[in-house]
Amino acid sequence: MIGNALLLAVREIRRNAMRSILTILGIVIGVAAVITMVTIGEGATVQVEQQIKNMGSNMLMIMPGKRLGPGLGTSNIQFKEVDAEAIARDIPSVVAVAPVATQSVKAIFGNQNWTTQVTGSDNHYFTVTNRSIKTGRYFTEGELRGGAAVCIAGETVIKKLFSSQNPLGEKIRLQNFSCEVIGQLVAKGQSTMGSDQDDIVVIPLHTVQRRIAGNQDVGMIQLSVRQDASTEKAQKDIMALMRERRHLSPSDDDNFTVMDMKEIANMLTGTTQLLTALLSMVAAVSLLVGGIGIMNIMLVSVTERTREIGTRLAIGALEREVLMQFLVEAVVLSSLGGLLGILLAIGASLGIATVLKVPFIFNTGIIIIAFLFSAVVGILFGYFPARKAARLNPIDALRYE
């Protein structure tokens, strides 16, 4: 009986090819949206994890202030260079400590200008952030101590300011002073947050403090822990040290935050996964709307084909055969929509993954789920019109104008 119903349903769909295509469009788009969202979301999650692995999981960041809850936080007492020195001196498991002060500054060379992040730090910065120099050299001790006007620039800045010219030895203007380019960083690409890690100019910490910020503050301390040492232990030691240096009594909250890359990783993958889930839910709603579209067309089709149903009943179709025919028709339509949606989703995901530079991860699970879901949508939304058709009284159906 299913075989017969399938035959009749396929004939019916073929008979109304155009309408069938329009009917399933909603399902096609719904299925495609769900699969694309999940695929891209997973790709993004994997990418975040990958990037964090690249950054090194043994990195800690210390930032002033601490969030105590939504909209609540402690005062942001800034660090000084001596805090970084104290950590380097007192915490044995630390390999390198880099005090970092960052400012957004417009860099000018000739008639080109580009607003970039100027990072004031020392040579430890390159060790901690796992970066190295492509051409040129690092800072000298003298330059660091004296706050010399020298800089090491990232690839993006170099490209924006010097089209093809060799930047080494040239002077770029940062806010109110000229600064000699002494090196170029190896390109690193996009960060986990989506920012361009090569849009950066590194200059000595003292230079930022004196010439740009006008204070002695250090916005953040980045450090790396020895590979064989525990980051948890280091984190605890640093917290104790900082509390002591800041004269916090045991009842006081920390007024600084020590972040482990692992935490950041968890936070970021958590955010990505949440976003994926939300977007997929929105996409799932469109799948539901697609199902309603099928029901709508099937109901119209039942009305339009009332005489035909009458004829079928007259020549001996059973109630359940008519029911089955319309139900199978709805399921075949929605499954067809599901299949087309899967193809569309694979194409769209490949395209979007390429554009967003996110790995394309083929997830068989979600494809099977989406397909089954589209079939279930067909059964769910096809049942009501099908029952309506099957319950028609033969003579009323035949007389229907």
Q: Which residues bind other proteins (CB under 8 A)?
A: 1, 4, 7-8, 11, 15-16, 307-308, 310-321, 394-395, 398
**Using DSSP, how many helices (H) and how many strands (E) does the chain show?**
13, 12
11 or 53: CB nearest other proteins: 11
Catalogue the E-assigned strands of 154-219: 171-174, 177-185, 200-204
316 or 365: CB nearest other proteins: 316
118 or 309: CB nearest other proteins: 309
3-state class (DSSP) for residue 318? coil
- The answer to whether 287 and 366 are in contact (CB under 8 A) is no
Shortest spacing between CB 318 and other proteins, in angstroms = 5
| Maximal C-alpha separation, the chain | 103
285 or 318: CB nearest other proteins: 318
282 or 395: CB nearest other proteins: 395
Contacts of 178 (CB under 8 A, 6+ apart): 149, 171, 172
11 or 236: CB nearest other proteins: 11
Six-digit token pair at 302?
Answer: 């039942």
186 or 395: CB nearest other proteins: 395
1 or 68: CB nearest other proteins: 1
Shortest spacing between CB 196 and other proteins, in angstroms = 59
CA distance 387 to 392: 9
Shortest spacing between CB 324 and other proteins, in angstroms = 11
- The answer to whether 196 and 150 are in contact (CB under 8 A) is no
Nearest by Cα to 59 from 265, 260, 269, 264: 260
User: 355 vs 142, 201, 351, 358, 360, CA distance in Å?
Assistant: 45, 27, 6, 8, 11
Shortest spacing between CB 317 and other proteins, in angstroms = 5
Q: Which residue has the tokens 């790995």?
A: 359
DSSP character string of 10-36: HHHHHHTHHHHHHHHHHHHHHHHHHHH
Six-digit token pair at 161?
Answer: 């300011």
Contacts of 128 (CB under 8 A, 6+ apart): 59, 96, 97, 98, 222, 223, 224
Shortest spacing between CB 393 and other proteins, in angstroms = 8
145 or 307: CB nearest other proteins: 307
Q: What angle do CA 123, 127, 130 make, to 5 degrees?
A: 130
Question: If 0-12 CB within 10 Å is exposed, 13-18 middle and 19+ buried, where does residue 139 land?
Answer: buried
Shortest spacing between CB 328 and other proteins, in angstroms = 13
Shortest spacing between CB 304 and other proteins, in angstroms = 11
Shortest spacing between CB 401 and other proteins, in angstroms = 10
Shortest spacing between CB 27 and other proteins, in angstroms = 23
